A and B are shown apart, each in its own frame.
Chain A
Amino acid sequence: NAGVMQNPRHLVRRRGQEARLRCSPVKGHSHVYWYRQLPEEGLKFMVYLQKENIIDESGMPKERFSAEFPKEGPSILRIQQVVRGDSAAYFCASSPTGWDEQYFGPGTRLTVT
């Protein structure tokens, strides 16, 4: 009974490269969320998706960041032309409905050199 899966667990990118983070929700969950955690800061909401739809992207920077949750396959958080300030832990969460508890994955730790 797998929980939320994220890969890769660690990702190193040079400035200007692209980062792709993947998230497979708990089986049967159709609501997916992405959060970012910076050192000494709390978890910050980025985007909320349902299958093939972005519901709320109010926490996501308007440039360089995009997210998708296709009909088939994992959810993807894509960061283009990464900068050092993008270095953080990125967590994906899923829930069966929009108002239940969200279950988190182990996170992807992105380091930009």
Chain B
Amino acid sequence: EDQVTQSPEALRLQEGESSSLNCSYTVSGLRGLFWYRQDPGKGPEFLFTLYSAGEEKEKERLKATLTKKESFLHITAPKPEDSATYLCAVLGGGATNKLIFGTGTLLAVQP
């Protein structure tokens, strides 16, 4: 069964303190791994898609990387506005296009 596990569940950082969020997955035939950001009371906001091991994507202070078993979301010199829940999801093989989500990492960046 396809499964996604995110760690840590919650992370508190000081402004400027870099860190990484982890997403480990088991899936048959990975077709894509997606990172989203979700603010309270809002829908997930798309950040990145990664398709194959070794791939990296960057956007402002965020960088996503992918291996055959896990993905990391690196946050460099975070700011308070980076505070949110970060969700990881995988698209597996087969005819369905449903995303399997992890439960997320709640990030709080303190000034």
Q: Do these two chains really belong together in a complex?
A: yes
Binding site for B on A (CB under 8 A): 4, 31, 33, 35, 41-45, 48, 55-56, 58-59, 91, 95, 98-107
Q: Is the CB of A99 within 8 A of B43?
A: no
* B58, chain A: closest CB distance, angstroms: 16
Q: Given the interface contacts A99-B32, A106-B43, does A48 sit within 8 Å of B49 by beta carbon?
A: no
- CB-CB under 8 A from B87, the residues of chain A are 42-43
Are A101 and B44 CB-contacts (below 8 A) given A48-B98, A95-B97?
no
* B103: Cβ under 8 A from any A Cβ: yes
A42 to B34, CA, bound (A): 14
Contact between chains at B103 and A31 (CB < 8 Å) = no
17 further A-B contacts with Cβ under 8 Å, apart from A4-B43, A102-B46, are A33-B98, A35-B99, A42-B101, A42-B102, A43-B44, A43-B89, A45-B100, A48-B97, A55-B97, A56-B95, A56-B96, A58-B96, A101-B32, A101-B46, A102-B99, A104-B43, A104-B45
Judge whether B61 is part of the interface by a CB distance below 8 angstroms: no
Q: Which residue of B lies closest to A9 (CB)?
A: B41
Which residues on B sit within 8 Å (CB–CB) of A45? 98-100
The reply to whether B98 and A91 contact each other, CB–CB distance below 8 Å, is no
Question: Which A residues touch B97, using CB under 8 A?
Answer: 31, 33, 48, 55-56, 95, 98-99
Residue in A48, A99, A102, A106 whose Cβ sees the most chain B Cβ within 10 Å: A102
- Complex interface: chain A residues within 8 A of B100 (CB): 45
Find the residue from B32, B43, B45, B49 having the highest chain A CB count within 10 A: B43
CA distance A1 to B42 in the complex (A): 19
For A56, the chain B residues whose CB sits under 8 A away are: 95-98
